[in-house]
Structure 1
């Protein structure tokens, strides 16, 4: 068995889904040597292979091949831990989906996702990373329906994607998919994905709270680094996030924190296609964008929060990163 795992609290969604279809998943977990009460313990995790076994069994006994879509009715933000609340505090759906992409491994090691800009929309691509077609198809139904439901939950009006792409073959009855997504559904596609209109992806959300979102991001970054000790980049980013408010982070301090030589640090970063300077720049840029969305922080305050010694240096750096001065960027966000 692999060491891949899923956040135990997310199983509460699966429990509710299966119970709605008359399946008692707790019994299966006990048979597999798992304690169902783990799902109620903050931060606990369950091996990913258990997910596959439970879903395969469920698919064999549930008559409805589209049963995974009902996950949309079974979730609560707390089931996704800090990520659930960070999602709700996102300023736009784009930011929420980008958070999902950034912190997906906290929820489950096996699956991944990415946001792709299109001419008139934002495509969210989901990958279950499972070769088993039955389990994979159910996982796609479950996960995409859940994420679309999350998008709808903090949107001010009725939200439907523009298009849905599913790798599963066209079912005998496509109506459950058409009814749920209320848009063009393409079966037998090369990927599992949905597309949001650009205007919907960028519309300010009624549940937005930028200060809370920034606080949640800091917690999530630490959780990701703690969970992914082999994720060298995450460990470096957590160090930078902690050190920036004290001034320019020094590479020697990072070397000491990681207990390695400067040469080893440079080699490991080079293997990841980056460098200390590039990683510092990327971290500062992401933080700068978050801070500029908060009307309570002045540009001067942001300057020092990012470790710059004077405002002019921050302004020049931000122009290099974004093509706009910080105040112009903030004005554009507000317009």
Structure 2
């Protein structure tokens, strides 16, 4: 077991995200003193307004509970304790949108306001709609939290949806999973769990994107969108280097997607120097290029005068089909569907 994390250090995760697991762990072998001593979680601190915890502490929590006799039952109980407000204002915003596809897009855009320990990618393959988690920490706690997070995702989608969520498969990063745990997960999902995957992943029926959200409310959606947009870091709050790189990318997209070398030359830097300096901020050039295109795409699609072909050109895509594939990966829906959802607001 790694050293206990400070209770509210690093600010990776809003405390509302971990409260269901905190409460469930008290029912399955942990005590409040143990949680405070081992991982630094104290009820009073977790209930403070705007309280946050470290990602490391969530991994340690899962490792602690994994050492208890009924870990699988703890996971299912914690998952069932989640409701939409467990994601804070991001969850409440998702509750107001017209369909699950837009809800997934909303979560993708604003997720880092409440949880910065992982990112999620969605897209379509022959076997269905996938939600893939990107989490680099190789520890057991990280692998356990990956499985837990996928189960929570289905729980929250089920609460939002006006119809059942059809799951086709779940893939776990863990090399092995006890039979009892696998059986409980498969019973919960209604689908097989495969271990030994490179990334944690869910595969859903693509029809899930069109499922309506039960509490959709266009007026409230507009309100929450405004609140969340205001909460996102402004460009002038980002490191100057990242702002400069994204500005160069934006200026050159109409000539096609710029390369790292091209951007470095414009900035008067060597390619390796720019790559190294970006890595110091924990970001790669391709991620910045992707994020810049994603942000611009949302703005362009709000302009009805622009055709989809024109939007693809403005984003530096050689082919419209490439833009469509990228947009599905970013938001889980097609550009047409996203534009229609905007028109209905």
Q: Structure 2 vs 1, CA of residues 29 and 232 (structure 1 numbering), >3 Å: closer, same or farther?
A: farther
2:298 corresponding residue in structure 1 = 286
Match of 1:140 among 138, 146, 155: 146
Could you tell me whether the CA contact under 8 Å between 1:7 and 1:44 is conserved in 2? yes
Q: Give unmatched runs, 5+ long, in structure 1.
A: 237-262, 292-302, 304-313
1:58-97 aligned within 5 A: 58-65=65-72, 67-97=74-104
Could you tell me how far 1:30 is from its partner in structure 2? 5.5
Could you tell me how far 1:148 is from its partner in structure 2? 0.4
Match of 1:110 among 117, 136, 156: 117
**Cα RMSD between the aligned structures?**
4.1
Structure with the larger RCO, 1 or 2 (CA within 8 Å, 6+ apart): 2
Q: Structure 2 vs 1, CA of residues 148 and 315 (structure 1 numbering), >3 Å: closer, same or farther?
A: same
1:197 corresponding residue in structure 2 = 205
Q: Give unmatched runs, 5+ long, in structure 2.
A: 245-265, 268-273, 279-283, 313-319, 321-333
2:169 corresponding residue in structure 1 = 163
Distance 2:40 2:101 in 1: 39
| TM-score for both structures, normalised by structure 2 | 0.66
Could you tell me how far 1:147 is from its partner in structure 2? 0.7
Could you tell me how far 1:176 is from its partner in structure 2? 0.6
1:320 corresponding residue in structure 2 = 310
Distance 2:243 2:172 in 1: 35
| 2:188 is the counterpart of 1:180 | yes
Distance 2:219 2:151 in 1: 28
Could you tell me whether the CA contact under 8 Å between 2:102 and 2:341 is conserved in 1? no
SS at match of 1:81: helix
1:1-335 aligned within 5 A: 3=10, 5-25=12-32, 27-29=34-36, 35-65=42-72, 67-119=74-126, 121-133=128-140, 135-168=141-174, 169-173=176-180, 174-225=182-233, 229-230=237-238, 272=285, 279=292, 283=295, 285-287=297-299, 289=301, 314-316=304-306, 320-321=310-311, 330=340
Distance 2:110 2:241 in 1: 13
Could you tell me whether the CA contact under 8 Å between 2:130 and 2:204 is conserved in 1? yes
Distance 2:335 2:200 in 1: 38
Distance 2:159 2:34 in 1: 32
Distance 1:160 1:89 in 2: 21
SS at match of 1:162: strand
Distance 1:139 1:274 in 2: 24
